[in-house]
Amino acid sequence: MAYRWTNDLTHDDVTPKAAFLNRRQIIAGLAAGSVAGSLAPQFASAQEALEPNSFEDITNYCNFYEFGTRKDDPARNAHMLTTSPWSIQIDGMVDTPGEYTFEDIMAKMTIEERIYRFRCVEAWSMVVPWNGFELADLLNLAGVQSGAKYVAFETALRKDEMPGTRFPVLDWPYVEGLRLDEAMHPLTLMATGIYGQDMPKQNGAPIRLVVPWKYGFKSIKSIVRITLTDDEPPTSWNKANGREYGFYSNVNPNVDHPRWSQATERKIGGGLFAKRIPTLMFNGYEEEVASLYEGMDLAEFY
């Protein structure tokens, strides 16, 4: 019987809401293009509590290229996205393919939606609670067939609502993928909110993927399709630049990105000159997920 992950963080470990959402302060000090995200279990202690930032800046620094490539573009443009009604097409190697409405998904989950607290890293680090449920619960609802090996995801593509998709920045629609065992891991979430509230549109409303031990470009937003397959699916950043962005995208401080080191990270809330700290293997989830990659060369499968 698959275990459910129990987080051992407390309320004191959570990055203050305003500090989590205000990132404008530090962007000037970050190299363009150096932002990648991921999550890990323990970070801020009560002694390391961050000074709250302005709630006004909550969503002014986002990576959601469908709404523009500048970090403040999603905050300006995401209001155009219609999130209700919303449905996800689940197809491929499943027993019950079909169109699953967001309301239907939420109603059929066999467990209560929870809050999961993870440490987020996007060239800085922070602890944030995601509201959500395990992706495995949704996949089990559709019935995964025995031959399936991978899970492919697709973001909504609406040029009238997503001005960024009018430009060939990426090969639209945005797509992502996981190996099936990664997708079924208890830490892999379908997130529907932040801090007990509905997911902000610029953060991936109404439902997005969160994979705690991987960089943020694996956390596909505003999902409209999930496909079970026996072939490794394409991923948007791998298609755009396979040398820099591999399929796995695991946090591995021992393997540098071709253009920068991934060995350290900066804590949000500490200001532009905050001390950098060592990045943890699998962002601190080594005990929980290292067995998924046993025997693999993680420099080759990056």
Q: Share the mean pLDDT of the chain.
A: 80
DSSP state letters, 228-273: EESSPPP-HHHHH-TTT--SS-B--TTS-BTTB--SEEEBTTS-TT
| Sequence-distant (≥ 6) Cβ neighbours of residue 197 within 8 angstroms | 131
Structure tokens at 14: 């959570």
Work out the percent of the chain whose per-residue pLDDT is above 70.
72
List of domains in the chain = 11-293 (3.90.420.10)
Give the whole-angstrom CA distance, residue 186 versus residue 239.
Answer: 28
Residue 42: predicted pLDDT: 34
66 phi and psi, to 5 degrees?
-60, -20
Reported confidence tier of residue 51, pLDDT bands at 50, 70, 90: very low
Residue 40 has what pLDDT? 34
Split at pLDDT 50, 70, 90, the class of 130 is: confident
Q: What is the pLDDT of residues 189-212, one digit of tens each?
A: 999 988 778 999 999 999 999 998
pLDDT at 34 over 50: no
Res 289: pLDDT: 96
Of 33, 32, 75, 61, residue with least CA distance to 126: 61
Question: Considering the entire predicted model, what is its pTM?
Answer: 0.82
Q: Which strand ranges, in their side-by-side order, compose the sheet holding 150-155? A: 98-101, 87-92, 223-229, 150-155, 175-179
Q: In this predicted model, what pLDDT tens digit does every residue of 224-276 receive, in sequence order? A: 999 999 999 999 999 999 999 999 999 999 998 889 888 988 765 566 677 88
pLDDT at 83 over 70: yes
Distances in whole angstroms, Cα of residue 190 to Cα of each of 7, 204, 286: 16, 11, 21
Tens of pLDDT, residues 137-152: 999 999 999 999 999 9
> Would you state the pLDDT for residue 116?
67
- For 94-118, what is each residue's pLDDT tens digit? 999 999 999 999 998 765 666 665 6
Residue 96: per-residue pLDDT: 98
**Which of 57, 68, 73 lies closest to 25, judged by CA?**
57
For the stretch 64-79, pLDDT in tens is: 999 999 988 999 999 9
Residue 48's CB is within 10 A of a number of other CB atoms, namely 14
Measured distance CA(82)–CA(75) in Å, rounded:
15
